């Protein structure tokens, strides 16, 4: 495997690094403390072309491979994982359309994201069905006129309060059904007077394009990742046309696996970005901080921790790159390596954030030091897109 970046990939990395350095890092603690959704930053990311990376070239005009996508998300996550989570969740919602939607669906449901910095939500998790997707109860029921009615509630949905379109996984026919479908639910008004209809404050209700209500709960108050929006979404008698259902309405579970195989390396990229930031902050601090007449980084016990942090970051990045290549090449064992990358990167993020805070001593516990923010942000990386135990189940199933 050639680890050298090609000219185009290096351009992406350099562009995102400049963006992070100029637009995110200078005021990240103040922005994070405000808990305000950073739509301005996301809009600038869209202008740079580092949003909506999964949209095919037939719609967007150029192709973004999985390795380049992982590199971009990793660099964006170095600045803030809340921002990169919101950006990545656009792709999480739109990848299934890119992979399994027909040409008309891709044009209709992906085209708007090329025209404007709109946000999308991926609706999978439910209050009673976290990792156990078979227990979900949201469902579509067919009416006499051939259209469907969607009802149900989803929780922990990223971008929900600002989304213009929802990718919804649901049961077919009734809540206890075995088959899953994937349907696209656009808001009635994605554009207003030719401009993207992104609310200035969290929205609480939307009219679905075909009829029915989309009710958005109060934004969740989270331990970390304050710059990503998370809320519940309830679909009440939402009318779904046959054309809004992606692929075969009974193949939703297969489509879901394909999406998660793509998404987990991107979550790994978020973890690697955070771990790298924690390492860099800790190196900087321990080079400047003196104790017992010497720099903290020169003390054997501190240096041992720094070496362990560096190893975690490097190993996670190698796992990420292998998984991204596997996804890019559509290898049969890509799911196994996606799970490996996700777990390895989450472990690196948690370790580097926690040990980095430890080496900062009492100062690390103060909110004016960025390392304390990274500790709060790191924990969700070990949870979303499947907790570590689920990844172990996937790897174990493939092994035997």
What positions carry a catalytic annotation? 385
- Cα–Cα distance measured from residue 98 to residue 261, given in angstroms and rounded to the nearest whole number: 14
Count of all residues that appear for the chain in the document:
400
186 - beta bridge partners? 165
Residues 6+ apart with CB under 8 A from 18: none
| Token reading at 249 | 């309405």
84 close to 277: Cβ distance less than 8 angstroms: no
308 close to 279: Cβ distance less than 8 angstroms: no
- Cα–Cα distance measured from residue 125 to residue 94, given in angstroms and rounded to the nearest whole number: 17
- Cα–Cα distance measured from residue 34 to residue 14, given in angstroms and rounded to the nearest whole number: 28
- Cα–Cα distance measured from residue 84 to residue 28, given in angstroms and rounded to the nearest whole number: 13
Where does the chain have alpha helices with state H?
A: 7-19, 28-34, 39-48, 57-60, 66-79, 81-100, 103-115, 252-288, 300-328, 334-360, 370-378, 388-399
Radius of gyration of the chain (CA): 21
| Token reading at 388 | 């570590």
Sign of CA dihedral 215, 224, 25, 8: negative
Q: Which of 186, 207, 159 is nearest to 39 (CA)?
A: 159
- Cα–Cα distance measured from residue 106 to residue 111, given in angstroms and rounded to the nearest whole number: 7
Q: From residue 194, give the alpha-carbon distance in Å to each of 116, 189, 191, 197.
A: 10, 11, 6, 9
Q: What is the maximum alpha-carbon separation in the chain?
A: 82
């Amino acid at each position: 495997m050639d680890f050298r970046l090609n000219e185009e990939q290096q351009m992406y990395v350099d562009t995102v690094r400049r963006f992070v350095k100029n637009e995110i890092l200078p005021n990240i603690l103040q922005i994070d403390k405000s808990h305000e959704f950073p739509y301005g930053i996301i809009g600038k990311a869209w202008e740079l072309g580092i949003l909506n990376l999964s949209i095919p070239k037939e719609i967007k005009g150029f192709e973004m491979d999985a390795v380049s996508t992982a590199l971009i998300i990793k660099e964006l996550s170095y600045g803030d994982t809340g921002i990169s989570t919101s950006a990545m969740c656009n792709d999480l919602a739109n990848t299934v359309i890119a992979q399994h939607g027909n040409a008309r669906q891709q044009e209709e449901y992906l085209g708007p994201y090329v025209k404007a910095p709109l946000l999308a939500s991926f609706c999978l998790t439910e209050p009673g069905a976290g990792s156990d997707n078979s227990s979900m109860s949201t469902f579509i029921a067919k009416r006499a006129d051939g259209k469907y009615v969607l009802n149900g509630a989803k929780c922990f949905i990223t971008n929900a309060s600002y989304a213009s379109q929802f990718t919804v996984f649901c049961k077919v026919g009734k809540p206890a059904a075995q088959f899953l479908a994937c349907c696209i639910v656009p808001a009635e008004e994605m554009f207003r007077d030719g401009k993207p209809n992104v609310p200035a404050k969290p929205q609480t209700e939307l009219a679905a394009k075909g009829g029915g209500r989309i009710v958005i709960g109060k934004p969740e108050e989270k331990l970390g990742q304050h710059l990503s929006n998370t809320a519940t979404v309830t679909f009440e008698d939402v009318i779904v046309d046959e054309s809004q259902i992606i692929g075969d309405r009974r193949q939703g579970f297969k489509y879901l696996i394909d999406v998660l195989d793509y998404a987990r390396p991107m979550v790994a990229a978020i973890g690697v970005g955070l771990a790298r930031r924690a390492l860099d902050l800790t190196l900087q601090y321990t080079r400047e901080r003196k104790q017992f007449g010497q720099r903290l980084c020169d003390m054997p016990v501190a240096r041992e921790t720094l070496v362990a942090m560096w190893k975690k970051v490097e190993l996670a990045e190698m796992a990420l790159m292998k998984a991204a290549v596997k996804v890019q090449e559509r290898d049969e064992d890509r799911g196994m390596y996606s799970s490996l990358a996700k777990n390895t990167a989450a472990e690196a993020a948690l370790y580097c954030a926690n040990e980095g805070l430890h080496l900062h001593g009492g100062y690390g516990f103060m909110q004016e030091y960025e390392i304390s923010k990274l500790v709060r942000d790191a924990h969700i990386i070990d949870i979303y897109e499947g907790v570590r135990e689920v990844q172990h189940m996937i790897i174990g199933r493939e092994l035997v």
